[in-house]
Amino acid sequence: MATYLLPDHDACYNPKPINGDNQIQTEEQEAYDQKLDAMIATLPKNKGWRSQYIFRYKGFWASREVIRGQLLIGDHFHPQPTDIFLAAFMKCGTTWLKALMFATVNRQRYNFSDHPLLRTGPQSVFPFLDTHIFLDHPITNFDHLPAPRLFATHNAHSSLPTSMTSPASTCKFVYVCRDPKDALISKWHFMRKLRSKELPPISFNEAFELFCNGVSEYGPFWDHVLGYWKASQESPEKILFLKYEDMKREPTVELKKLAAFMGTPFTEEEEKKGVVEEIVKLCSFENLSNLEVNKGGGGGQKFTAKVVVENREFFRKGKVGDWENYLTEEMKNRIDTITINRLKDLTQNTLLYFENIPNNPYPPNPPTPTSRHPNTAMPLPSLSRPTLTYHRHHLDATFFTLHHSSTSTNTH
């Protein structure tokens, strides 16, 4: 079992020692557990991917620990107006975004040659709210973190407390989504490693079936994505919606968008000095996955007091389209059909479009690009190069991301 590395830098998250002042007392934990078990006994249950069962709570499937965490977040987490949350369904890019957000927000603080990411890995640089809050001795005070505090969560938008999500809150969210076919493959690989050895393994066919039926931790995948998508449409200044595929294709464009959204836009001088490219390089799959701290044991994400996942488990292939190596034509069509049907719930004008879906009855309209992103006022890439595909993103059809045939910083 890996040692849980404590980052030695002031902007990194440093868990407080067990039995510190900032922890919920044992009696309170017992009260939580009683309340939780009584409530869970009333919930629909199904097969878990890691644990034996998951439960449908407020529309989403979750393990007992995750539901416990949601209750604790609601009761004990105090968001600050400047907080920025990184939200994603499992295996959609949290590790990558953690690195990018931390490196961007703290770029004045650290040299790229001597960066905390190089020593601790992305998992340790900021807290994963869902886990740190439900550890056996929950840590509830994050006041020692400098503003803007950064937190990650896999919880659905509607599973979070209104103190974080209501119109009155000024907290920001960065949401990253990914083609569900790749998220499924990645999740199956990850969860089968975490699955208790006392339980029979989950075959890929079984995982596929469960995923399609929405039954997987934090699922249904589509409802998760749509919750944040709709919220981003209502409050684009508060929720930035990113896609893993766009980030692979044009990381510098997406990073500039991200930096502007977080309130730390790159200056002209920084751009000239190549700071954007430095951060992209530092956080690239190739760089991070080859670091000693992410290759061997020695650091990781502490899920519970008993479960620590080593850093290396968060790096597998880092590619777009690995599903091709796993899904039959029939399986691919089944997921694509679900995606199309779920998109149908939106009007055609808010189409969340995954490329390469054959026979999509809701193809995006032809592009009518403008030069500004509505969230961040970042200029779009030049339109002079050939356009391959495009994604329609916005209600009033004014914003399109164009995909070019050649991009120098493309990493896949």
Within 8 A by CB and 6+ apart from 30, the residues are none
Question: Can you list the alpha helix ranges (DSSP code H) found in 237-388?
Answer: 244-249, 251-261, 268-273, 275-282, 285-289, 292-295, 329-344
Shortest Å, Cβ 223 to ligand PAP: 17
Looking at beta carbons only, is 314 or 399 nearer to ligand PAP? 314
Per-residue contact track with ligand PAP, 346 to 375, x per CB under 6 A? ------------------------------
Shortest Å, Cβ 255 to ligand PAP: 12
Looking at beta carbons only, is 73 or 99 nearer to ligand PAP? 99
Per-residue contact track with ligand PAP, 56 to 95, x per CB under 6 A? --------------------------------x-xxxxxx
Q: How many CB atoms lie within 10 A of CB 354?
A: 21
Shortest Å, Cβ 220 to ligand PAP: 16
Residue 314 touches ligand PAP, criterion: CB under 6 A: yes
Whole-angstrom distance, CA of residue 90 vs CA of residue 124: 17
Q: Which stretch binds ligand PAP (CB under 6 A): 142-150, 269-277, 311-319, 344-352?
A: 311-319
Question: Over the Cα atoms of the chain, what is R_g?
Answer: 21
Within 8 A by CB and 6+ apart from 43, the residues are 55, 56, 57
Cα separation values, 187 from 129, 135, 373, Å: 19, 22, 31
Residue 96 touches ligand PAP, criterion: CB under 6 A: yes
Helix (H, G, I), strand (E, B) or coil at 201: coil
Q: Which stretch binds ligand PAP (CB under 6 A): 26-34, 198-206, 312-320, 356-364?
A: 312-320
Residues 214, 299, 300, 318: which binds ligand PAP (CB under 6 A)?
Answer: 318
Per-residue contact track with ligand PAP, 164 to 193, x per CB under 6 A? ------------------x---x--xx---
Helix (H, G, I), strand (E, B) or coil at 187: helix
To the query of whether residue 391 is one of the catalytic residues in this protein, the response is no
Tokens of 321: 């389209």
Whole-angstrom distance, CA of residue 57 vs CA of residue 182: 25
**Interface positions with ligand PAP (CB under 6 A):** 88, 90-96, 182, 186, 189-190, 283-285, 288, 314-318, 322
